[in-house]
């Protein structure tokens, strides 16, 4: 292109660097907007779930009733039983507690790096990552239990919505684990400080988001 | 005053091709958006010709042995719409946004240049995935671009490829929207307040919010369809406790805002062109901005007017909200006409297309308002009236605006003007061809011709109008030839444009044509929504 590189006066530095002054950082704003789109994605799936749930009926003792979750699944889905009816370990509640805890440790890590406390940052971020991976493993184990208990994606509408909702949540946790892994790696390389931690903050927002989605999922699938 | 010197390291030699394929420069990415969209415009246009040839006479199976099989006919109109909506109109408007928005903001690039490149390259990938349906047995998606179940659950692998392609295209849109929003909120030049932003940038802002809120919902609908088709899910399967209307609700929650995604930036282009070629400021700038926001907000409350005949939606609410959309749209129409009123009109090609937009979009708005009335909609639903309506707003509206934009910004993109003579030939041919194709479809719809049929009885009284529409279709096809010839000739031999050939208002005309990679050496002082006008006339007082 024709124009030469020229000297810029200080008032032109905007044109040279594109740095905006003050306010929320570009990566953090970008992440908030991305989370907005993710909220809408899950809103579509939740809408489908509630629509199907509202129209669900089954016949119990010769009477057509609205009973959700389907009666046959009620014991399998009780999160407060230590063992499922077939005698497998029920890990959904521990997994939930782990994911909720990891949101706190993640925020501790963000607060630590804001105060330039790198040891605490790395320690808390490592714990977050371990809790996240543990959640994924427990979730996989739980799927294997549910399939052995007879809940599949194709045998009931409950199964279809259950596996779709939790499956996409699983994929999002997996993405979050990758993201936090990069944050931890870069943190251990000393790339973050109290002045430079936009990526840490953006990743933590995403992690809080997947945590909140799980709390909602746990509530509507297991409790309500 | 302190000075900083830009001193980039001398770049290693790279071939031009490598440079374009790996670039993160928003201007090159914007131009590639336009090229990619034009390729799919041609592909979608050829499929439209297939549809028009098939319908040129009744009983075409007897007359010409059936130009195409009914199965291929279904694929043709499905992929025509899919290409035109998802791979032409939406991306080409995003392409204009990509090219113009950072320049109009006085920014050096988009906020996330590499994500911008990702948004671009997802498009040809998604498009090819979608188009690859033609190569598999059973052919491409064929249940119409809306892909309603249960029909879409019964067709072949092409539908899966269509779903996967569209998810990629949607992801591209979402990433682009995030990029636009961060750029607009964070990268404006000093002095460029929100209410001094060019109107195109405002429309891109509102469009990006629509994309951000609506497109993920389409993704969820597509994913549920995919799960039903491939993993034995029952979301949309009434026999097993699912709900087929659920798909329509989720789909239109995206696809109605999507029609504003397809027209708001086009309105932005028109609002850039009209003031420049009328030699007047845009009439009612703030009213225009609020009208844009109003259309965007109302756009989320009208989706079920596509579903009146399902009997599963609350008719008075959605009918009322649909009529309300006419209010902000009317404000815009008034502003555009008032902008031209007593202006020194310069009938260059961009203005011709802009006036074409105004007249055709007006018809498209009016025939849409008819369908918003529930009893009328019950009569016209799924007839050619709907086809006429969509083409008057999307072709007469958006496509005319696209060509206005191409003629308007081509000098900035390339440094050379497009030929005016060929431009006017193209406009006249396209205007005639467009009206000859789509106006008869109103009458066909009123006469009861359903859309998406491959054949019709000769006694139905639809013969002459279909013949006219087919002739018009070929005139439209003919009209794009002078355009491509014009581009090829002008790239080499066009008149040299200079920085500001149109004596325009907004910041992209304050830099060279084409602009340097970092966009601006110096920015003019910004004291109004027309900084370049102010600089040209030595006016820097507050507006």
Higher pLDDT, residue A79 or B103: B103
Contacts of A97 (CB under 8 A, 6+ apart): none
Does A124 have pLDDT greater than 90? yes
Q: First-to-last CA distance in chain B?
A: 28
Q: CA-to-CA distance for B122 and B144, rounded, in angstroms?
A: 23
Does B227 have pLDDT greater than 60? yes
Does B356 have pLDDT greater than 50? yes
Average pLDDT on A71-78 reads 85
Q: Which of A1, A18, A40 sits opposite B516 (nearest CB)?
A: A1
pLDDT tens digits along B319-345: 999 999 999 999 999 999 999 999 999
From B159, B15, B17, select the one nearest B82 (Cα to Cα).
B159
Strand partners, B4: A8
From B357, B362, B393, B205, select the one nearest B274 (Cα to Cα).
B357
Average pLDDT on B101-109 reads 96
Higher pLDDT, residue B67 or B492: B492
Hey, what are B136's tokens? 């598999």
Does B13 have pLDDT greater than 80? no
Q: CA-to-CA distance for B180 and B170, rounded, in angstroms?
A: 15
A57 pLDDT tier (thresholds 50, 70, 90): confident
Average pLDDT on A75-100 reads 90
Cis peptide before B519 (omega within 30 of 0): no
- Which contiguous run of DSSP H or E holds residue B367? helix B349-372
- A40 at interface of B, judged by CB pairs closer than 8 A: yes
Q: Look up tokens 């081509």; give the residue.
A: B410
Q: Which of A2, A41, A48 sits opposite B246 (nearest CB)?
A: A48
- B174 at interface of A, judged by CB pairs closer than 8 A: yes
B6 pLDDT tier (thresholds 50, 70, 90): low
In contact, B227 and A164? CB cutoff 8 Å = yes
Yes or no, beta carbons of B219 and A47 under 8 Å apart: no
Yes or no, beta carbons of B518 and A15 under 8 Å apart: yes
What was the pLDDT predicted at B219?
97
Chain A stretch 83-102, residues whose beta carbon is closer than 8 A to a beta carbon of chain B: none
Average pLDDT on B193-205 reads 96
Does A9 have pLDDT greater than 60? no
Helices (H), B187-243: 199-230
pLDDT tens digits along A163-185: 999 999 999 999 999 999 999 99
Hey, what are B245's tokens? 């209307």
Q: Which of A33, A43, A160 sits opposite B233 (nearest CB)?
A: A160
Contacts of B6 (CB under 8 A, 6+ apart): A5, A6, A7, A8, A16, B518
Chain B hits for A26, Cβ within 8 Å: 111-112, 182, 186
How many Cβ atoms sit within 10 Å of the Cβ of residue B190?
14
The dihedral sign for the CA sequence B135, B136, B141, B142: positive
Does A32 have pLDDT greater than 80? yes
Q: Which of A15, A57, A66 is best to mutate for the B interface (most B CBs within 10 A)? A: A15
In contact, A105 and A192? CB cutoff 8 Å = no
Average pLDDT on A1-15 reads 42
In contact, A17 and B519? CB cutoff 8 Å = no
The chain A residue lying nearest B512, using CA atoms, is: A3
The dihedral sign for the CA sequence B498, B504, B109, B268: negative
Yes or no, beta carbons of A52 and B235 under 8 Å apart: yes
pLDDT tens digits along B415-474: 999 999 999 999 999 999 999 999 999 999 999 999 999 999 989 999 999 999 999 999
Pairing of strands A7-9, B3-5: antiparallel
- Which contiguous run of DSSP H or E holds residue B3? strand B3-5
pLDDT tens digits along B259-300: 999 999 999 999 999 999 999 999 999 999 999 999 999 999
Chain A hits for B3, Cβ within 8 Å: 7-10
Q: CA-to-CA distance for B229 and B243, rounded, in angstroms?
A: 14
Hey, what are B102's tokens? 């950072």
The dihedral sign for the CA sequence B435, B438, B444, B446: negative
Question: ipTM of the predicted structure?
Answer: 0.92
pLDDT tens digits along A145-157: 999 988 999 988 9
Chain A hits for B186, Cβ within 8 Å: 20, 23, 26, 29
Which whole-number Å values give the CA distances from B470 to B47, B79, B352, B439, B473, in the listed order?
A: 13, 18, 25, 12, 5
Does B408 have pLDDT greater than 60? yes
Yes or no, beta carbons of B515 and A3 under 8 Å apart: yes
Calculate the average pLDDT of chain A.
Answer: 89
How many Cβ atoms sit within 10 Å of the Cβ of residue B301?
17
A7 pLDDT tier (thresholds 50, 70, 90): very low
Chain B hits for A47, Cβ within 8 Å: 246, 249-250
The chain B residue lying nearest A23, using CA atoms, is: B186
What was the pLDDT predicted at B15?
84
Chain A hits for B515, Cβ within 8 Å: 1, 3
From B458, B460, B459, B436, select the one nearest B446 (Cα to Cα).
B460
B7 pLDDT tier (thresholds 50, 70, 90): low
Chain A hits for B497, Cβ within 8 Å: none
What was the pLDDT predicted at B283?
96
From B261, B238, B234, B224, select the one nearest B147 (Cα to Cα).
B224
Yes or no, beta carbons of A38 and B216 under 8 Å apart: yes
Q: CA-to-CA distance for B396 and B400, rounded, in angstroms?
A: 6
The chain B residue lying nearest A1, using CA atoms, is: B516
> Which DSSP category does A222 fall into?
I
Distance (Å) from the C-alpha of residue A78 to the closest C-alpha of chain B? 23
Yes or no, beta carbons of A2 and B518 under 8 Å apart: no
Does B8 have pLDDT greater than 80? no
- 3-state SS of B498-543 is CCCCCCCCCHHHHCCCCCCCCCCCCCCCCCCCCHHHHHHCCCCCCC
Does A6 have pLDDT greater than 50? no
pTM of the predicted structure, to 2 decimals: 0.93
Q: CA-to-CA distance for A95 and A131, rounded, in angstroms?
A: 9
Q: Which of A2, A33, A153 sits opposite B181 (nearest CB)?
A: A33
The chain A residue lying nearest B212, using CA atoms, is: A37
Chain B stretch 208-237, residues whose beta carbon is closer than 8 A to a beta carbon of chain A: 212-217, 219-221, 223-224, 227-228, 231-235
Contacts of A93 (CB under 8 A, 6+ apart): A79, A80
- B1 at interface of A, judged by CB pairs closer than 8 A: yes
Does A5 have pLDDT greater than 50? no
Hey, what are B243's tokens? 């709900």
Q: How many Cβ contacts (< 8 angstroms) between chains A and B? A: 170
From B423, B434, B419, B405, select the one nearest B492 (Cα to Cα).
B419
Task: Tell me the angle at which helices A118-149 and A157-188 cross, rounded to the nearest 10 degrees.
Answer: 160
Q: What is the DSSP string of B97-157?
A: HHHHHHHHHT-SS-SSHHHHHHHHHHHHHHHHHHHGGGGSTT-B--STTTT-TTHHHHS-H
Most confident range, picked from A5-14, B3-12, B207-216: B207-216
In contact, B305 and B381? CB cutoff 8 Å = no
- A14 at interface of B, judged by CB pairs closer than 8 A: yes
How many Cβ atoms sit within 10 Å of the Cβ of residue B464?
10
Yes or no, beta carbons of B213 and A1 under 8 Å apart: no
What was the pLDDT predicted at A69?
86
Higher pLDDT, residue A86 or B176: B176
From B315, B466, B325, B262, select the one nearest B384 (Cα to Cα).
B466
Strand partners, B5: A7
Does A200 have pLDDT greater than 70? yes
The chain B residue lying nearest A161, using CA atoms, is: B235
Q: Which of B5, B227, B522 sits opposite A164 (nearest CB)?
A: B227
B315 pLDDT tier (thresholds 50, 70, 90): very high
Strand partners, B383: B450
Yes or no, beta carbons of B253 and A44 under 8 Å apart: yes
What was the pLDDT predicted at B540?
60
Lowest mean pLDDT of B8-22, B107-121, B211-225, name the range.
B8-22
Helices (H), chain A: 13-17, 26-54, 92-114, 118-149, 157-188, 198-218
Average pLDDT on A122-129 reads 97
Q: Which of A30, A159, A168 is best to mutate for the B interface (most B CBs within 10 A)? A: A30
Average pLDDT on B233-244 reads 91
- A16 at interface of B, judged by CB pairs closer than 8 A: yes
Average pLDDT on B250-254 reads 95
Q: CA-to-CA distance for B212 and A36, rounded, in angstroms?
A: 7
Yes or no, beta carbons of A9 and B233 under 8 Å apart: no
- A175 at interface of B, judged by CB pairs closer than 8 A: no
Distance (Å) from the C-alpha of residue A58 to the closest C-alpha of chain B? 10
- A62 at interface of B, judged by CB pairs closer than 8 A: no
What was the pLDDT predicted at A1?
38
- 3-state SS of B387-449 is HHHHHHHHHHHHHHHHHHHHHHHHHHHHCECCCHHHHHHHHHHHHHHHHHHHHHHHHHHHCCC
Distance (Å) from the C-alpha of residue A51 to the closest C-alpha of chain B? 7
Chain A hits for B111, Cβ within 8 Å: 26, 30
Q: Look up tokens 């050096």; give the residue.
A: B108
From B123, B104, B107, B105, select the one nearest B29 (Cα to Cα).
B123
From B336, B341, B345, B343, select the one nearest B365 (Cα to Cα).
B336
SS3 of A62, please? coil
Average pLDDT on B336-364 reads 96
Strand partners, A9: B3
Q: CA-to-CA distance for B339 and B267, rounded, in angstroms?
A: 14
In contact, B281 and B539? CB cutoff 8 Å = no
**Residue B250: φ, ψ to 5°:** -70, -40
Calculate the average pLDDT of chain B.
Answer: 93
Q: Which of B8, B514, B519 sits opposite A15 (nearest CB)?
A: B519
Chain A hits for B227, Cβ within 8 Å: 153, 160, 164
Q: CA-to-CA distance for A147 and B2, rounded, in angstroms?
A: 69
What was the pLDDT predicted at A81?
87
- A64 at interface of B, judged by CB pairs closer than 8 A: no
Average pLDDT on A11-40 reads 75
Distance (Å) from the C-alpha of residue B234 to the closest C-alpha of chain A? 6
**Spacing of C-alpha A196 from chain mean position:** 24
For B408-444, b/e burial (b = at least 16 CB within 10 A) is: bbbbbbbbbbbbeebbebbbebbbebbbbbbbbbbbb
């Amino acid at each position: 292109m024709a124009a030469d590189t020229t000297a810029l006066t200080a008032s032109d530095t905007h044109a040279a660097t594109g740095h905006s002054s003050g306010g929320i950082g570009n990566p953090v704003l970008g992440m908030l907007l991305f989370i907005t789109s993710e909220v809408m994605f899950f809103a579509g799936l939740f809408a489908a779930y509630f629509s199907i749930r509202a129209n669900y009926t089954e016949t119990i003792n010769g009477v057509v009733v609205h009973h959700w979750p389907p009666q046959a699944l009620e014991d399998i889905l009780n999160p407060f039983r230590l063992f499922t009816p077939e005698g497998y370990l029920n890990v959904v509640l521990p997994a939930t507690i782990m994911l909720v805890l990891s949101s706190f440790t993640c925020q501790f890590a963000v607060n630590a790096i804001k105060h330039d406390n790198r040891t605490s940052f790395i320690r808390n971020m490592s714990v977050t990552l371990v809790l996240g991976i543990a959640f994924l493993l427990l979730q996989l184990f739980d799927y294997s239990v549910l399939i052995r208990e007879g809940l599949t994606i194709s045998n009931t509408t409950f199964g279809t919505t259950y596996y779709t909702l939790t499956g996409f949540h699983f994929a999002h946790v997996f993405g979050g684990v990758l993201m936090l892994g990069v944050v931890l790696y870069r943190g251990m390389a000393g790339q973050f400080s109290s002045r430079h931690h936009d990526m840490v903050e953006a990743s933590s927002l995403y992690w809080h988001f997947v945590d909140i989605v799980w709390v909602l999922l746990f509530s509507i699938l297991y409790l309500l | 005053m302190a000075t900083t010197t830009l001193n980039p390291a001398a770049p290693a030699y790279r071939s031009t091709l490598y440079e374009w394929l790996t670039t993160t420069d928003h201007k090159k990415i914007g131009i590639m958006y336009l090229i990619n969209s034009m390729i799919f415009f041609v592909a979608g246009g050829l499929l439209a010709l297939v549809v028009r040839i098939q319908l040129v006479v009744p009983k075409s199976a007897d007359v010409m042995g059936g130009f195409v099989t009914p199965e291929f006919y279904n694929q043709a109109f499905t992929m025509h719409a899919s290409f035109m909506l998802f791979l032409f109109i939406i991306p080409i408007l995003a392409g204009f946004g990509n090219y113009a928005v950072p320049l109009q903001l006085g920014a050096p690039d988009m906020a996330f240049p590499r994500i911008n490149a990702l948004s671009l390259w997802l498009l040809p990938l998604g498009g090819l995935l979608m188009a690859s349906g033609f190569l598999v047995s059973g052919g491409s998606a064929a249940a119409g671009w809306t892909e309603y179940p249960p029909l879409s659950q019964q067709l072949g692998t092409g539908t899966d490829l269509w779903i996967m392609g569209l998810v990629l295209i949607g992801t591209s849109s979402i990433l682009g929207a995030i990029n636009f929003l961060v750029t607009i909120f964070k990268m404006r030049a000093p002095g460029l307040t929100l209410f001094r932003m060019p109107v195109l940038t405002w429309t891109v802002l509102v469009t990006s919010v629509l994309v951000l809120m609506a497109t993920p919902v389409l993704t969820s609908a597509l994913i549920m369809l995919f799960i039903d088709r491939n993993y034995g899910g029952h979301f949309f399967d009434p026999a097993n406790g699912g709900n087929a209307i659920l798909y329509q609700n989720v789909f239109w929650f995206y696809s109605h805002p999507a029609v504003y995604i397809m027209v708001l930036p086009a309105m932005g282009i028109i609002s850039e062109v009209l003031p420049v070629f009328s030699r007047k400021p845009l009439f009612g700038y703030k009213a225009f901005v609020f009208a844009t926001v109003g259309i965007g907000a109302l756009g989320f409350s009208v989706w079920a007017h596509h579903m009146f005949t399902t009997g599963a939606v609350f008719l008075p609410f959605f009918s009322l909200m649909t009529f309300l959309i006419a209010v902000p749209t009317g404000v815009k129409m008034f502003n555009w006409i008032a902008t031209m009123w007593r202006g020194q009109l310069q009938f260059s090609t961009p203005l011709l297309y802009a006036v074409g937009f105004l007249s055709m979009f007006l018809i498209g708005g009016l025939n849409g308002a008819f369908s918003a009335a529930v009893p009328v909609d019950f009569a016209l639903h799924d007839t050619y009236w709907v086809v006429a309506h969509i083409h008057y707003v999307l072709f007469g509206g958006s496509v005319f605006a696209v060509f206005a934009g191409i003629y308007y910004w081509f000098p900035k993109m390339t440094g050379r003007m497009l030929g005016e003579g060929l431009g006017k030939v193209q406009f006249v041919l396209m205007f005639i061809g467009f009206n000859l194709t789509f106006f008869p479809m109103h009458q066909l719809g009123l006469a009861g011709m359903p859309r998406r049929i491959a054949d019709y009885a000769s006694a139905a009284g639809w013969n002459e109008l279909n013949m006219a529409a087919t002739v018009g279709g070929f005139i439209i096809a003919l009209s794009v030839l002078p355009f491509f010839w014009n581009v090829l000739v002008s790239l080499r031999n066009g008149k040299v444009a200079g920085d500001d050939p149109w004596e325009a208002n907004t910041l992209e005309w304050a830099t060279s044509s084409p602009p340097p990679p970092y966009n601006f050496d110096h920015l003019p002082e910004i004291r109004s929504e027309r900084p370049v006008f102010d600089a040209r006339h030595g006016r820097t007082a507050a507006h």
